[in-house]
């Protein structure tokens, strides 16, 4: 400490001398006596200042010693407190281990019971969240979730009431899954509006209201009407079960809880399937409609003609309202003609009837041949579209190729749907026409033979 004080004094003296030298350099030149006196005064003043600084430093050193001793005392107190707390912590650890061991011994088989209860509560919660029964009985999943979290995080034991409620909720779920009940709740309709309706719940499988299928939204816990309903035959069963008063009715049930229903909803209707065929599909349908119209017209005409021919076969007098009557009248028109002339006249009459009987049959045959070719055209067009999409977007997303594949398959189906019935109709109508012509030829041969016998 003394060495530090001496060094401080030397530094202070040097600083004072520098200040004095600077002051003297800045002041006017003095004589030697005045300079000597000034140096004496400066030394005296510097000595007083140094003495004052030494006193202040000594006072601060005492204060620093006091603070140091106080800090050391505080540190020692904290170390002692830390050792005490550490000892207490170790003792508490031993006590806690003993208490846990005692608790485990007291719980015995109940420990496994609470573990199973926690697992069952977690599993049952997920089932309740996905069950449509929660639309009628809300709040069950929240209770099970809170119970599982309480037993898992805080290691608290479930009360008798909570255990009984878990059993009760599971039993109520099983009981409700075998009943068809009605209840009132808010239903979100397809246009987004919420309306309070009477809903029919079919076990744990389906919800129905106003003859439409509903779905239970897990996230919002709301009941919503399916924007797109399944096929009409399923919707009819939904309306039937809603109007039932306890009697047995047919109902389209989804045992998967909605998975099959969502797939059925996504199935395109007949109109949408036709629209998938595009322009080629519409052309095939138009051609098919024309072929069907011609076939119906020919079927009616040939049926009427065959009935008239059958009546003419039973009559002796020829009638002009049927092909056979007009052929027979040729014999009456040429009573004196020889056999060869009469044969030519009858042949001519039959040839006049053949175009009438076979009218539009060629067009029907052409349609039966062209329809599958047009379906093949649509198939090729659709596959070209598929390959173009693959070139642009790759094969990562199958939905991109679905449009072209749908066009290809639908046009093929439409072409076959038109070709198969028109082919059958053509074969049937052609047979009927030939049968009538065969009757005409048979009767004409009989007339010729009769004339030949008369000589």
> Using one digit for the tens of pLDDT, what is the confidence trace for 293-329?
999 999 999 999 999 888 888 887 878 888 888 888 8
184 and 120 in a common domain: no
Per-residue pLDDT, 314: 85
pTM, full prediction: 0.54
Whole-angstrom distance, CA of residue 295 vs CA of residue 424 = 10
Question: Reduced to 3 states, what is the DSSP secondary structure of residue 132?
Answer: helix
pLDDT at 29 over 60: no
373 and 301 in a common domain: yes
pLDDT at 64 over 90: no
% of the chain surpassing 90 pLDDT: 12
pLDDT at 27 over 50: no
pLDDT at 292 over 90: yes
Is residue 238 in a domain? yes
Residue 26's pLDDT band (cuts 50, 70, 90): very low
Between 231 and 421, name the one with better pLDDT.
421
Lowest mean pLDDT among 10-24, 36-50, 143-157, 374-388: 10-24
pLDDT at 8 over 80: no
For residues 324 and 309, the answer to whether their CB atoms sit within 8 Å is yes
Is residue 94 in a domain? no
Lowest mean pLDDT among 73-82, 245-254, 410-419: 245-254
Whole-angstrom distance, CA of residue 129 vs CA of residue 123 = 10
Is residue 370 in a domain? yes
Residue 153's pLDDT band (cuts 50, 70, 90): low
User: 224 φ, ψ to 5°?
Assistant: -130, 145
Between 124 and 104, name the one with better pLDDT.
124
**Residue 101 vs residues 47, 175, 199, 262, 452: alpha-carbon distances, Å:** 80, 42, 54, 54, 129
DSSP string, 15-51: HHHHHHHHHHHHS----HHHHHHHHHHHHHHHHHHHH
Structural domains in the chain (count): 4
332 and 450 in a common domain: yes
Is residue 410 in a domain? yes
354 and 258 in a common domain: no
Average pLDDT on 147-169 reads: 76
172 and 188 in a common domain: no
Whole-angstrom distance, CA of residue 100 vs CA of residue 27 = 92
- Domain of residue 400: give its range: 276-454
DSSP string, 249-310: ------TTSSHHHHHHHHS--HHHHHHHTHHHHHHHHHHHHHHHHHHHHHHHHHHHHHHHHH
Q: Name the strand (E) or helix (H) holding 180.
A: strand 180-188
412 and 293 in a common domain: yes
pLDDT at 393 over 60: yes
Per-residue pLDDT, 2: 46
440 and 292 in a common domain: yes
Average pLDDT on 201-228 reads: 84
pLDDT at 14 over 60: no
Whole-angstrom distance, CA of residue 343 vs CA of residue 447 = 9
């Amino acid at each position: 400490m003394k060495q530090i004080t001496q060094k401080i004094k030397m530094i202070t003296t040097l600083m004072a001398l520098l200040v004095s030298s600077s002051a003297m350099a800045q002041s006017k030149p003095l004589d030697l006596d005045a300079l000597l006196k000034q140096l004496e005064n400066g030394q005296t003043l510097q000595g007083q200042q140094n003495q004052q600084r030494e006193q202040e430093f000594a006072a601060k050193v005492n204060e620093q010693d006091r603070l140091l001793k106080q800090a050391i005392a505080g540190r020692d107190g904290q170390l002692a407190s830390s050792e005490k707390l550490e000892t207490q912590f170790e003792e508490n650890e031993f006590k806690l281990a003993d208490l846990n061991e005692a608790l485990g011994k007291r719980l015995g088989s109940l420990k496994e019971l609470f573990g199973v209860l926690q697992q069952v509560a977690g599993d049952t919660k997920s089932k309740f969240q996905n069950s449509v029964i929660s639309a009628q009985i809300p709040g069950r999943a929240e209770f099970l979730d809170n119970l599982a979290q309480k037993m898992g995080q805080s290691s608290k034991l479930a009360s008798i009431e909570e255990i009984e409620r878990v059993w009760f909720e599971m039993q109520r779920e099983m009981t409700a899954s075998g009943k068809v009940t009605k209840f009132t709740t808010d239903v979100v309709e397809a246009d987004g509006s919420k309306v309070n309706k009477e809903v029919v719940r079919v076990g744990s499988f389906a919800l129905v209201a106003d003859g439409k299928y509903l779905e239970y939204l897990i996230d919002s816990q709301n009941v919503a009407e399916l924007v797109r309903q399944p096929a009409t035959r399923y919707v009819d069963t939904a309306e039937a079960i809603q109007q039932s008063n306890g009697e047995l009715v047919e109902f389209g049930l989804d045992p998967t809880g909605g998975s099959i229903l969502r797939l059925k909803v996504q199935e395109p209707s007949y109109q949408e399937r036709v629209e998938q065929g595009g322009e080629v599909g519409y052309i095939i349908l138009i051609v098919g409609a024309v072929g069907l119209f011609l076939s119906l017209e020919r079927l009616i005409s040939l049926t009427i003609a065959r009935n008239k021919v059958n009546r003419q076969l039973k009559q002796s007098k020829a009638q002009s309202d049927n092909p056979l009557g007009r052929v027979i009248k040729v014999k009456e028109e040429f009573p004196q003609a020889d056999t060869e002339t009469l044969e030519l006249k009858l042949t001519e009459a039959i040839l006049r009837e053949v175009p009438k009987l076979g009218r539009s049959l060629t067009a029907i045959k052409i349609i039966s041949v062209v329809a599958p070719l047009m379906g093949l055209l649509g198939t090729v067009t659709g596959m070209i579209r598929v390959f173009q999409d693959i070139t642009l977007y790759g094969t990562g997303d199958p939905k991109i190729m679905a449009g072209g594949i749908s066009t290809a398959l639908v046009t093929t189906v439409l072409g076959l749907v038109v070709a198969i019935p028109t082919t059958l109709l053509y074969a049937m109508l052609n047979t009927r026409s030939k049968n009538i012509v065969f009757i005409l030829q048979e009767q004409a041969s009989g007339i010729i033979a009769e004339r030949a016998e008369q000589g």
